[in-house]
């Protein structure tokens, strides 16, 4: 398995897609029930393969990631050959931007001396999706990129 197995909740949400996945392998609902009962290890393998397929699709389509900690905001733009990073750092340790009050403070004070910006870019390794998955494993979430674009415009890097 390349990534991690989808949770039960995720698998429940993707039930129609899983049925289609089984159908591509000519496995009917009745056969699936038999496999689960008589060959649980084969059922586990099928779930792992399906999970990897879903992750590959999600990671391939991902355009932006965000990772927020109490004093830092890591904003990633995921290109084809590299990723761009904008880091927003709050130097006032009494502020916690993971709270609604701290985030509101950041919105109102992003131009203050207590907020620093860093920018970087990094080429992917030989496996773009694995690099993105590693960031997700470290707490990043896939987003539509509104925050990245907001700070990109402020920094004039468009």
Could you tell me the residue range of the domain that residue 25 belongs to?
A: 8-61
Examine the domain organization and report whether 54 and 132 are in the same domain.
no
Q: Which residues contact 141 (CB under 8 A, 6 or more apart)?
A: 65, 66, 67
Examine the domain organization and report whether 77 and 98 are in the same domain.
yes
Examine the domain organization and report whether 87 and 128 are in the same domain.
yes
Examine the domain organization and report whether 116 and 132 are in the same domain.
yes
Residue 116 lies in a domain: yes
Examine the domain organization and report whether 139 and 110 are in the same domain.
yes
Residue 91 lies in a domain: yes
Examine the domain organization and report whether 37 and 71 are in the same domain.
no
Distances in whole angstroms, Cα of residue 21 to Cα of each of 24, 31, 98, 103, 140: 5, 13, 39, 42, 28
Residue 137: pLDDT over 90: yes
The span from the CA of 84 to the CA of 71, in Å, is 20
Helix (H, G, I), strand (E, B) or coil at 12: helix
Distances in whole angstroms, Cα of residue 2 to Cα of each of 32, 112, 133, 151: 23, 43, 10, 33
Q: pLDDT category, 38, cuts 50, 70, 90?
A: very high
At which of 61, 81, 96 does a domain end? 61
Residue 26 lies in a domain: yes
Whole-model pTM? 0.85
Distance of CA 134 to the CA centre of its chain: 9
Helix (H, G, I), strand (E, B) or coil at 2: coil
Q: pLDDT category, 157, cuts 50, 70, 90?
A: low
Residue 2 lies in a domain: no
- Which two structure tokens, joined as six digits, stand for 110? 């992003």
Tell me the backbone φ, ψ of residue 123, rounded to 5 degrees.
Answer: -70, 150
The span from the CA of 92 to the CA of 6, in Å, is 38
Domain count, the chain: 2
| DSSP 8-state symbol, 157 | -
Residue 35 lies in a domain: yes
Residue 1 lies in a domain: no
Examine the domain organization and report whether 69 and 133 are in the same domain.
yes
Residue 158: pLDDT over 80: no
Examine the domain organization and report whether 78 and 34 are in the same domain.
no
Examine the domain organization and report whether 30 and 87 are in the same domain.
no
For residues 39 and 25, the answer to whether their CB atoms sit within 8 Å is no
Q: How many helices (H) and strands (E) does the chain have?
A: 7, 5
Biggest alpha carbon distance in the chain?
65
Residue range 48-92, pLDDT digits in tens: 999 999 999 999 999 999 999 999 999 999 999 999 999 999 999
């Amino acid at each position: 398995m390349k990534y991690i197995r989808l949770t039960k909740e995720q698998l429940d949400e993707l039930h129609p897609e899983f049925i289609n996945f089984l159908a591509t392998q000519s496995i009917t609902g009745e056969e699936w029930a038999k496999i689960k009962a008589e060959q649980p290890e084969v059922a586990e393998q099928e779930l792992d393969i399906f999970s990897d397929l879903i992750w590959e699709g999600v990671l391939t389509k991902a355009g932006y990631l965000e990772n927020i900690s109490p004093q830092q905001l890591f904003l990633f733009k995921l290109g084809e050959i590299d990723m761009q990073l904008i880091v927003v750092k709050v130097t006032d340790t009494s502020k916690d931007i993971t709270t609604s009050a701290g985030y509101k403070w950041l919105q109102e004070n992003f131009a203050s001396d207590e907020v620093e910006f860093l920018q970087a870019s990094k080429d992917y390794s030989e496996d773009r999706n694995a690099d993105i998955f590693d960031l997700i494993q470290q707490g990043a979430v896939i987003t539509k990129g509104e925050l990245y674009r907001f700070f990109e415009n402020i920094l004039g890097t468009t």
